[in-house]
Structure 1
Amino acid sequence: MTNSTSFNAEKINQHIVKWLLDYATNAKVKGFVVGISGGIDSALTSTLCAQTGLPTLCVEMHIHQPESHVRRGLEHISQLKKRFPNVLHEKAELTIPFDTFIKQLPIIENEELLNLTRANTRARLRMTTLYYFAGINGFLVTGTGNKVEDFGVGFYTKYGDGGVDLSPIADLLKSEVRALATYLNVPESILIAKPTDGLYVNDLTDEDQIGANYDELEWAMHEDKKGKTSADFSGREAEVLSIYKRLNQINQHKMIPIPVCAIPNEYK
C-alpha cells in the first residue's frame, strides 16, 4: 500500500506533467491521444496529459463493451472536457470490424486459448485505432500501464495496450495510481470500480484473470525484490508470491527488448 506520509501527490503530478510536456516539445508533436476504457489508469493518464495544455484526444473504442464501462468512460470524458478546454473526444465503434475480422480466422477447440487470443486481438485492434488518430493529428499514443502491470506481472497485450509512444504512469504502483487519481478528482465511479481490461465478453476482472488483487501483487513485488520465495511464507502469502513469480517469469518476453540475433562479423 502507498505510504501516505511519503507519497507527495502534488510533486508527482507536477513532475509527470512537466515530463509529458518536455517530451512532446522535444519530439515536436502537437499533443496526446489516450484510449479511454472507463478504468482508473486511462482516467489518470488522460488527466495528466490534459494538464500540459496540449491537445489531449480521448478515444472510446467499443468492442462488445459492457455498458458500465461505457458510462464510466463518458462520465470521465465529460468531466475532463469541462475542466480542460484542450480535451477532445472521439468514438470508434469497433465491434463490427472486430467480428468481421474474427470470422475470417480459424476456430480451435481449446476455448481458453481461443478466448485469450481473441482478447489480445481486441487490444491490438485498439492499438491500431489509436495510432490512426495519432497519425492524422500529429499526436503521441500515450500508454496507460502501471508499474505492477508493466514490470511486475506483464499484464498487458504485446503490441496491444503495450504498443505506445510513452508511458507516464509506468513507475507508479496501482495504489499510487489510486492516490494520484483521487488527488486529481477522477470520478468516484472509476475510483471504486474493480480493475478490468474489458477484453472478455464475460467482463472478467483483472483479479479473476491473475488470481490476486493489486494490493497483493504489490506486496509480492516488494518481497520478490528482497529475494524472498514462496517457501518463506505460508497460506495465501505463499500462493500470491507464487502467482507473481510465475507471471513475472513467463511474461519476461514483454518486458525485455526484442531479441536480435547478432551475426559475427566474419560471416558478413
Structure 2
Amino acid sequence: MHIDNGFNTEAINNHIVNWLRNYATNAKIKGFVVGISGGIDSALTSTLCAQTGLPTLCVSMPIHQAASQVHRGKEHIAQLKERFSNVSDTEADLTPVFEIFKKQVPESDNEQLYNLTLANTRARLRMTTLYYYAGIHGALVAGTGNKVEDFGVGFYTKYGDGGVDVSPIADLMKSEVRTLARHTGVPQSIIDAKPTDGLFGDDRSDEDQLGASYDELEWAMLEDENGANANDFAGRQKEVFAIYKRLNTINQHKMNPIPICEIPNNLK
C-alpha cells in the first residue's frame, strides 16, 4: 500500500469539503446528488458532500443488484442520515427499465462484447437517473471515481459513472481513499469489502476484471509516472506493469477531451 507520509488526513478532508461547498455556492447550486453502490468510493464521496452542510441526496439504483451490495449501501445511508440532518435518500429500481431497454435492441453474437455493452448501459441508465434527480433538486452530480480509476486505468464507463459535474476524490489514490474513509466514519464493512463495479449482476470484483488489485495498479501508476518501463521489472511486477500500461493506453479516449475536427481557416 502506498500512502505518502505527508498525507494529512484531516487537512485533506477539510480541503475537499471546502472545495465542494465553494464550488456549489459559486455555481448557485443547492446541493449534491450521489449514486450509492455499497462501495467505498461512493460512501466516501457522499460523506464528504454531507460534511458541506448542503442538501445531499443519496440515490440507490439497483439493476439485478447483488444482495450484499444493496445491504452495504443501505447500511451506509442509514448511518449517514443519523449523523447528518442534511442527508436524504431515495431508490430508483432500474431493473424493469433495463429489461425493457434490452428488448428494444438486438443481441450480439459476440457474448463478451454483448455483456460488456450491457454493463456499460447499466452505468449510463444510472447517470441519466442521477441527472434527473439533480435537475429537479437544483443539485450537482458528485462523481465517485478515484485517481487510479479515472486517470490510471480508465476503469469507468464513458458517459456513465464518468458523466458527473464534480469529482471530489479523483486526485486520491485508492489507498488514500481507504485512509480518508476510515477518518470520516465510513462503515468498516464497506472499507473491507472487495471492490466491485456491480455492473454484471454477479459477484465479480474489480480485480477479476482488471487482472490486478488496486494496490498493484497504484504501484504501477506511480512507477509509470516516475518513467519506468516494463524491462525494469520481472515476475508479477512485470505482469502488473504491463496490465497497467495496456489499460492506460486503450482508455485514453476516456481521459482526453473529445477530438474535434478543426477546419483550416483557408477552407472557411
Q: Which bin holds the TM-score, normalised by the shorter protein? A: over 0.9
**Partner residue of 1:220?**
220
Counterpart of 2:148, as a letter, is V
Unaligned runs of at least 5 residues, structure 2: none
Partner of 1:62: helix, strand, or coil? coil
How far is the alpha carbon of 1:21 from its aligned partner? Answer: 0.3
How far is the alpha carbon of 1:201 from its aligned partner? Answer: 2.1
Contact 2:2/2:218 (8 A) holds in 1: no
**Partner residue of 2:89?**
89
**Partner residue of 1:160?**
160
TM-score, structure 1 normalization: 0.99
**Partner residue of 1:195?**
195
**Partner residue of 2:126?**
126
Describe the superposition over 1:103-127 as per-residue Cα deviations: whole angstroms up to 9, x where unpaired.
1111112111111000000000000
Unaligned runs of at least 5 residues, structure 1: none
Residues in 2 aligned to 1:137 and 1:266: alpha-carbon distance in whole angstroms: 47
Contact 2:2/2:219 (8 A) holds in 1: no
Matching of residues 25-104 of structure 1 within 5 Å: 25-104=25-104
Residues in 2 aligned to 1:73 and 1:5: alpha-carbon distance in whole angstroms: 31
Residues in 1 aligned to 2:178 and 2:196: alpha-carbon distance in whole angstroms: 14
Describe the superposition over 1:12-64 as per-residue Cα deviations: whole angstroms up to 9, x where unpaired.
00000000000000000000000000000000000000000000000000000
Counterpart of 2:15, as a letter, is H
How far is the alpha carbon of 1:222 from its aligned partner? Answer: 0.9
**Partner residue of 1:208?**
208
How far is the alpha carbon of 1:4 from its aligned partner? Answer: 6.3
How far is the alpha carbon of 1:3 from its aligned partner? Answer: 3.0
How far is the alpha carbon of 1:202 from its aligned partner? Answer: 2.2
**Partner residue of 1:141?**
141
Counterpart of 2:67, as a letter, is E
How far is the alpha carbon of 1:137 from its aligned partner? Answer: 0.4
Partner of 1:59: helix, strand, or coil? strand
Residues in 1 aligned to 2:90 and 2:201: alpha-carbon distance in whole angstroms: 23
Residues in 2 aligned to 1:147 and 1:3: alpha-carbon distance in whole angstroms: 13
Partner of 1:218: helix, strand, or coil? helix
Counterpart of 1:257, as a letter, is P
Contact 2:124/2:160 (8 A) holds in 1: yes
Describe the superposition over 1:231-265 as per-residue Cα deviations: whole angstroms up to 9, x where unpaired.
11111000000000000000000000111111112
Contact 2:2/2:215 (8 A) holds in 1: no
**Partner residue of 1:266?**
266
The size of the alignment, in residue pairs, is 268
Describe the superposition over 1:112-147 as per-residue Cα deviations: whole angstroms up to 9, x where unpaired.
111100000000000000000000000000000000
Structure 2 residue 23 is the aligned partner of structure 1 residue 6: no
Residues in 2 aligned to 1:22 and 1:54: alpha-carbon distance in whole angstroms: 11
Residues in 2 aligned to 1:255 and 1:3: alpha-carbon distance in whole angstroms: 24
TM-score, structure 2 normalization: 0.99
Q: Which range moved further: 251-260 or 4-13?
A: 4-13
Counterpart of 1:103, as a letter, is K
Counterpart of 2:115, as a letter, is N
Residues in 2 aligned to 1:70 and 1:141: alpha-carbon distance in whole angstroms: 21
Identical-residue share of aligned pairs (%): 71
Residues in 2 aligned to 1:67 and 1:3: alpha-carbon distance in whole angstroms: 32
Describe the superposition over 1:46-92 as per-residue Cα deviations: whole angstroms up to 9, x where unpaired.
00000000000000000000000000000000000000000010100
Residues in 2 aligned to 1:182 and 1:231: alpha-carbon distance in whole angstroms: 37
